[in-house]
Structure 1
Amino acid sequence: MNSVCKFSVRRIGNLLSLNLIKSPTATLVYRNQQGLRNLRNINTLNNSDSPKLFNYHLPNNKKFYGSNLRYSTTTSKPQPTPPKNFKETVKNRNVGPFSWKGLVIFILTGLGLLAYFKNEKKKVLEKRPFELLNQDGKLVTDKDLLGKFLLVYFGFTHCPDICPEELDKMSKVIDIINNEKEFGGNVLTPIFISCDPNRDTVEVVREYIRDFHEDMVGLTGSHEQISKVAKSYRVYYSQPPQLQPGDEYLVDHSIFIYLMNPDGEFVDAYGKNVDAEQTASSIVNHVKDFLERGGVIKKEEIK
């Protein structure tokens, strides 16, 4: 088979030199005789003009160009057209994890939350009015207690443990603050407000607060009066429904000690997890701030 191939190629060269074969196909074979040595399945020579001179197989992406065997590499994807100007680039570009639209929404949301919290803070700083009876049966309003800082706690006299613990803590805070020489005397008054008007009469409240602090003021009143005061302080309390006279029950209520300044404005609130020393330290800072801003505290003791 190899001898036939060599003879055929040599024969084509001789015929071409004599100008006896003018077929384009034969000329192509002669010019690519070096490349054709690597091809297989050469069957026959036909000096007609048929394009199927040889029966050979090449990969789909290969082509002959002159005497060299080349590969087609035109399979890459077209590149995207770049933006025409800088503004178009900035418009289509994302800013970090946000798009421009997301960034605008984020800023507007932040401004809305800021306005909301400012409004809530304004509400918190509003005065907390009340009108109740003290342990002596005297009608007392919030205006009667202006001039000193107040520590206000809502509870009930039949509370088994939480109320006594919080009132003991409040008594310790009173002693710490009122013994501060820097303030020059009593600047803080403890207030106990009952949220159980069914059982906490004036007499019951009077006996109850004697176990805690001599300066403590006990307040009680009707359901309507206590409900109004609790609402102004945003205090939650609830009694069991359908109570009968003589029933024993517990009152569910918020556990916070509220600090009011001498002008009757809310300043701070302390939960059950804040001890007496931490509460006193916070109040000292609030008193100093109030005095630095030109606030005035009455020196006479309020009963």
Structure 2
Amino acid sequence: MNSRRSLLLVAILLGVALLAGTLMLASRPAAPAGPLVGSNIGGPFSLIDQNGKPFTDRDLQGRYALVYFGYTFCPDVCPLDTQKMSAGLAAFEKQQPLLGAKVVPVFITVDPERDTPAVLKQFTSAFHPRLVGLTGSVAAIDAAKSAYRIYAKRAGPPGAKDYLMDHMAVIYLMGPDGKPISFLGHDATVAQVTDELVKYVR
């Protein structure tokens, strides 16, 4: 009898805690309009994730997304930006677990010739457990870059294998409807990534 009462009490307490958390989220004021609201950044894409499975913009519907374009052979900027994006989200998840679970970090390569799914899988595993790495054909990547207004161009002599990519470095925050909300540049800090999520994610 005592064990049944204990289990019932635990269940009640868990229910109360869950209800309290839900009410707290519901009582938060509406998010302000971000600087990118109304812009035409973003759109449909059809790519392949680090597990070799098809991944499209529809897989992000109903969730917020932190979207970054880069490449795994990048010597400094891309790993640093991906680390800041991942660490900023991790801090937000710690503060707001329910809201944090609604945010998907996404890394889209601008170097599909070298960034195969296997290469992306090794790269993404070093950052956030939910980081999605995306690649595809050159045409598919070009379409994604165009949709997100990303500049990227191969640098160095033609035919070189150890080439670099000159590209725009920006982290976009996209809404559950696939529309842009805000962005952070390369000079952003981990704390600023977290602050953007606190400010806009509901």
Shorter-chain TM-score category? 0.7 to 0.9
What CA distance in whole angstroms lies between the structure 1 residues aligned with 2:152 and 2:99? Answer: 37
Where does residue 191 of structure 1 map in the other structure? 106
Residue 240 of structure 1 and its aligned partner are, at CA, apart by 3.3
| Residue identity matched to 1:204 | V
Q: Secondary structure at the match of 2:115?
A: coil
| Residue identity matched to 2:65 | L
Q: Deviations over 1:216-244 (max 9, x none)?
A: 00000111000010011000000137632
| Residue identity matched to 1:251 | M
Q: Deviations over 1:110-145 (max 9, x none)?
A: xxxxxxxxxx96333x65221100011111110111
Residue 182 of structure 1 and its aligned partner are, at CA, apart by 7.2
Q: Percent identity?
A: 37
| Residue identity matched to 1:190 | P
State which structure, 1 or 2, has the greater radius of gyration over its C-alpha atoms. Answer: 1
Equivalence map 1:35-54=2 (5 Å)? none
Q: Deviations over 1:53-112 (max 9, x none)?
A: xxxxxxxxxxxxxxxxxxxxxxxxxxxxxxxxxxxxxxxxxxxxxxxxxxxxxxxxxxxx
Q: Secondary structure at the match of 1:231?
A: helix
What TM-score, normalized by structure 1, do the two folds share? Answer: 0.52
Where does residue 255 of structure 1 map in the other structure? 169
Pick closer, same or farther for the CA change 1:283–1:241 going to 2, 3 Å: same
> Any conservation in 2 of the 1:178–1:187 contact (CA below 8 Å)?
no
Pick closer, same or farther for the CA change 1:198–1:184 going to 2, 3 Å: closer
In the alignment, which of 276, 279, 283 is matched to residue 193 of structure 2? 279
Pick closer, same or farther for the CA change 1:185–1:231 going to 2, 3 Å: closer
2:31 equivalent to 1:122: no
Where does residue 169 of structure 1 map in the other structure? 84
2:75 equivalent to 1:160: yes
Residue 178 of structure 1 and its aligned partner are, at CA, apart by 1.7
The gaps in structure 1 that reach 5 residues or longer are 1-119, 292-303
Give the structure, 1 or 2, with the largest relative contact order (CA under 8 Å, sep 6 or more).
2
Residue 166 of structure 1 and its aligned partner are, at CA, apart by 0.4
In the alignment, which of 134, 137, 160 is matched to residue 222 of structure 1? 137
Pick closer, same or farther for the CA change 1:260–1:138 going to 2, 3 Å: same
| Residue identity matched to 1:266 | P
Residue 174 of structure 1 and its aligned partner are, at CA, apart by 1.3
2:66 equivalent to 1:138: no
What CA distance in whole angstroms lies between the structure 2 residues aligned with 1:209 and 1:281? Answer: 23
The gaps in structure 2 that reach 5 residues or longer are 1-35
Equivalence map 1:44-83=2 (5 Å)? none
| Residue identity matched to 2:155 | P
What CA distance in whole angstroms lies between the structure 2 residues aligned with 1:261 and 1:146? Answer: 9
Number of residue pairs the alignment of both structures matches: 167
What TM-score, normalized by structure 2, do the two folds share? Answer: 0.77
Pick closer, same or farther for the CA change 1:185–1:204 going to 2, 3 Å: closer
| Residue identity matched to 1:122 | G
> Any conservation in 2 of the 1:240–1:251 contact (CA below 8 Å)?
yes
In the alignment, which of 181, 184, 188 is matched to residue 267 of structure 1? 181
> Any conservation in 2 of the 1:196–1:251 contact (CA below 8 Å)?
yes
> Any conservation in 1 of the 2:89–2:100 contact (CA below 8 Å)?
no
What CA distance in whole angstroms lies between the structure 2 residues aligned with 1:127 and 1:159? Answer: 24
